[in-house]
Amino acid sequence: VAVMAEASITYSLKFQARALAAVQSDKLQSKWVVGTNALREENEIRVLQYDADQERVACIKTLTHTPEIWDIATSAESPDLLLTVHSQGGTYGATLWSMQSGTAVQRIADLPGHEGIIRGVLWHTKQTDLAVTVEEGLLHKWTISDQGVTLAGQGRAGELLQLWSGALHAQNASLCATAGGNNVQVWDLRSMACTGEVSSAHRMPVRDVCFSPCNEHRLVSSGDDCKLRVWDVRVLGRAEPLLELGGHSHWVWRAQFSPFYEQLIASSSSDSLVNLYHTPYLAASSAAEAGGAQGAQERVPAGSVGAGGELDGKAASYDEHEDSVYGLAWSNADPWLFASLSYDGRVVVNKVPKGIKYKLLI
């Protein structure tokens, strides 16, 4: 039975905002980078840190970033480097910035050659010279080095297909997934070719995709049909998810596996709710698959019972937001924290309920 979660901690930005990312380079402190999306104001980047002792969120850095910020990716190597997708006057760009000094971000290099609207930017957490930008009809692969940024390849999404977002796999740097139209695509970044697709993955447009941290064959998608669905990428031709999760009443903008526990998936929606799902049965089938067990690709029935008698499904809802929740990111340092960002500029740090935490630890 889902519960309303324990008290969350909030922080308010000056302007509306869409972009939120965990600071990947810090494994000790829970930090996030947020970027504002104001049309007629000077936008800014803020670095926020969760203070467990004081139970508060503190802003430890504020930097001017004039154009509207649509997406952020942080470096796993350097706390001072980040990539943003931005727009000004309707023209989109992507840029590598330094946050090291001064009152504004310092431009290191632009990622040139984009043709239209850039939807997102991805930066690999292990292969730190690899970045990908997701354009409406294209994927661009980039090499990031001390010398700057160079284009390393591009792949076209095909006729009439509009990509919305993407995800890299934490272990397999050649694997990328995208949300495009009502479908989910899987790409091989070595050849920049789409190698598989779930057609009609959702009944309405797909908004987000995320790979499981423990199993490169698993990914979760979310869409405008208010659903989350988990897929086995080896059998994408069969449009039957391993698991479907409900609990939202409007478009689901983000669905993110915990980087620490495959059993935890967080989501955020235009219904202003953030949900947490606990999927012990799905994780147990993943573990069995890793051990070579048969039948691991079989569909997990809705409400399946895990090893401890637990149902796969929504474990908690968080209702601290009053606007569409566009941003969602797990802490890179603490397995029991994740942040969410609504369009009105409210950042909320949410906690995994103690009951779920103890089930995972015991």
3 state SS of 289: helix
Q: Are 329 and 339 in contact (CB under 8 A)?
A: yes
Rg over CA atoms, the chain: 19
Q: What is the pLDDT of residues 31-68, one digit of tens each?
A: 999 999 998 889 999 999 999 999 999 999 999 999 99
pLDDT of 199 > 90? The answer is no
pLDDT score of 5: 59
**Alpha-carbon gap, residue 178 to 38, rounded angstroms:** 27
- Strand 56-64 vs strand 44-51: parallel, antiparallel, or unpaired? antiparallel
Q: What pLDDT does 4 receive?
A: 56
**Per-residue pLDDT reduced to its tens digit, 90-135:** 899 999 999 998 999 999 999 998 888 999 999 999 999 999 999 9
* Tokens matching residue 206: 């797909």
**Whole-number pLDDT of residue 239:** 63
In whole angstroms, give the CA distance from residue 266 to residue 259: 11
Angle ∠(37,74,46) on CA atoms, nearest 5: 45
Please give the distance of CA 198 from its chain centroid, rounded to a whole number: 19
Q: What does the pLDDT read at residue 46?
A: 97
Continuous H helices in 64-113:
none
**Residue 295's pLDDT band (cuts 50, 70, 90):** very low
Hey, what domains does the chain have and what are their CATH numbers? 10-288+310-361 (2.130.10.10)
Q: Is the pLDDT of residue 293 over 50?
A: no
Residue 356: enclosing H or E segment and its boundaries?
A: helix 354-361
Least confident of 117-121, 256-260, 304-308, 338-342: 304-308
φ, ψ for residue 282 (rounded to 5)?
-60, -45
